[in-house]
């Protein structure tokens, strides 16, 4: 636990297809962790399901190596690509991210897909993050549905790193 009993912050980074194909990408990730002092368990690499499907064997080997180093993994934009559910059970991931397309219409519509993704993640023992939360009623519905985390403009707008650091420090000291 972090200060005041809060969980420690994590850093999530989107991975591109080009990065994933780089033979030294894992070495670069580990070097960045070493230089920054960030614990591997506080780094989360986000891979899109379409990226994973481009080179399934290479992606799975990379995911196992990253997880062995203690880095967390999530599948971003889940449900928008063309992955098979059979592959999902073989991916060494920590969480699924519900794409904003499925969050936008909540709570008035879209329950079926959002509920299914949350249930699927629970069945695999994964955490769930909803992307694109912009209205309080969306957040309320997601909480009630069992979604673990949310991100979107309702919770914070993009900001310079210095402003983010000041905000995190203020929250940790509160």
Most confident of 19-23, 25-29, 87-91, 110-114: 25-29
Q: List b or e across 128-140, with b for residues whose CB sees 16 or more CB atoms inside 10 angstroms.
A: bbbbbbeeeebbe
Q: Domain range spanning residue 156?
A: 3-173
* pLDDT tens digits, 56-102: 888 888 999 999 999 999 988 776 765 567 677 778 899 999 889 89
Q: Where are the alpha helices (DSSP H) in the chain?
A: 17-21, 25-36, 49-54, 56-68, 85-88, 100-103, 111-123, 136-145, 161-173
Mean pLDDT of 11-16: 91
Are β-strands 95-98 and 43-48 bridged in parallel, bridged antiparallel, or unpaired?
unpaired
Report the number of distinct structural domains present in the chain: 1
Share of the chain above pLDDT 90, in %: 49
Confidence (pTM):
0.76
Mean pLDDT of 28-57: 89
CATH number of the domain bearing residue 61: 3.20.20.450
Q: What's the CA gap between 96 and 108, in Å, rounded?
A: 23
């Amino acid at each position: 636990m972090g200060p005041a009993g809060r969980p420690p912050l994590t850093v999530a980074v989107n991975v591109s297809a080009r990065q994933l194909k780089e033979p030294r990408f894992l070495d670069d990730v580990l070097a960045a962790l070493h230089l920054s002092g960030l614990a591997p368990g506080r780094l989360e690499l986000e891979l899109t399901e379409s990226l994973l499907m481009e080179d399934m064997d290479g992606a799975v080997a990379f995911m196992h190596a990253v997880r062995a180093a203690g880095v967390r993994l999530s599948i971003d934009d889940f449900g928008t690509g063309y992955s098979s559910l059979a592959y999902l059970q073989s991916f060494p991931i920590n969480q699924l991210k519900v794409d904003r397309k499925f969050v936008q219409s909540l709570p008035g519509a879209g329950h079926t897909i959002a509920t299914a993704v949350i249930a699927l993640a629970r069945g695999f023992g994964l955490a769930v993050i909803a992307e694109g939360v912009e209205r309080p009623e969306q957040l309320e519905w997601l909480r009630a549905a069992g979604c673990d985390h949310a991100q979107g403009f309702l919770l914070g707008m993009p900001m310079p790193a210095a402003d983010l650091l000041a905000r995190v420090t203020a929250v940790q000291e509160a």
